[in-house]
Amino acid sequence: MYRYLHGWIKTVFYAGVFLVAQVVCAPFSYAQIVALGASVVQGYGVSSGEAFPSQLEAMLRAKGKNYSVANQGIYGDTTSGVLSRLDNAVPQGTRIVILLIGGNDVRRGATTEQARAGVSEIIARLRARNIRVISAIPYYQAARAKGMVLSDGIHLTAAGQRYLASQLSPLIN
């Protein structure tokens, strides 16, 4: 009986150590990244695999980083739309948000100050949750300046999406 009980206790002990190790080590080997915004994030005009969130995930994994990049881009979205869906679009456990939003606010009649205020509110709410925010706006603007846009002059080509991902990749540790 003693041998049986001793073996059982040992098994339970090692199972507990294994489970604790899984919980403690998991955050260091996995990071959730959310790309949040409107149609450029969504990948309007290109395939889903060519959109920058998919390309960024592939680039990070090629570097040996087991990061998941969720695409939370919705065509036509505004800062108020992002704010209304923020908690659902950015789930618990998210460590980084790549933000690209605000252009549709201005296109729909808001001032640039109102769009900036909406972006600031999004950033404040994410930072309150200890989520790192990376603005993709400078890299989007650089892609546009390089002519990597569709005929509408707004949305990025596949090359523009790839450029955006390549510029964001070094910012993810």
pLDDT tens-digit profile of 36-61? 999 999 999 999 999 999 999 999 99
- Predicted local confidence at residue 158, as pLDDT: 98
* Closest among 33, 31, 29 to 21, alpha carbons compared: 29
- Predicted local confidence at residue 70, as pLDDT: 96
Q: How many domains does the chain have?
A: 1
- Give the C-alpha distances (Å, rounded to integers) separating 67 from 32, 41, 88, 172: 6, 18, 19, 10
The Cα–Cα gap between 40 and 155 comes to 6
Q: What CATH number is given to the structural domain containing 73?
A: 3.40.50.1110
- Give residue 115's identity as a one-letter amino acid code: A
Residue found under tokens 């998210």: 94
Q: Is residue 101 part of a domain?
A: yes
- Predicted local confidence at residue 19, as pLDDT: 39
- Predicted local confidence at residue 173, as pLDDT: 82
Q: Is residue 4 part of a domain?
A: no
Residue 99's domain spans which residues? 30-171
Q: Is residue 23 part of a domain?
A: no
Tokens describing residue 5: 């009980």
Q: Is residue 141 part of a domain?
A: yes
Q: Mean pLDDT per segment of 10 residues, for the chain of length 173 residues?
A: 55 46 42 94 97 97 95 97 96 96 96 97 98 98 98 97 98 91
- Predicted local confidence at residue 15, as pLDDT: 46
Q: Is residue 22 part of a domain?
A: no
- Give the C-alpha distances (Å, rounded to integers) separating 107 from 14, 67, 78, 138, 149: 60, 34, 10, 19, 18
Its pTM stands at 0.82
- Give residue 11's identity as a one-letter amino acid code: T
Q: Is residue 157 part of a domain?
A: yes
- Predicted local confidence at residue 6, as pLDDT: 56
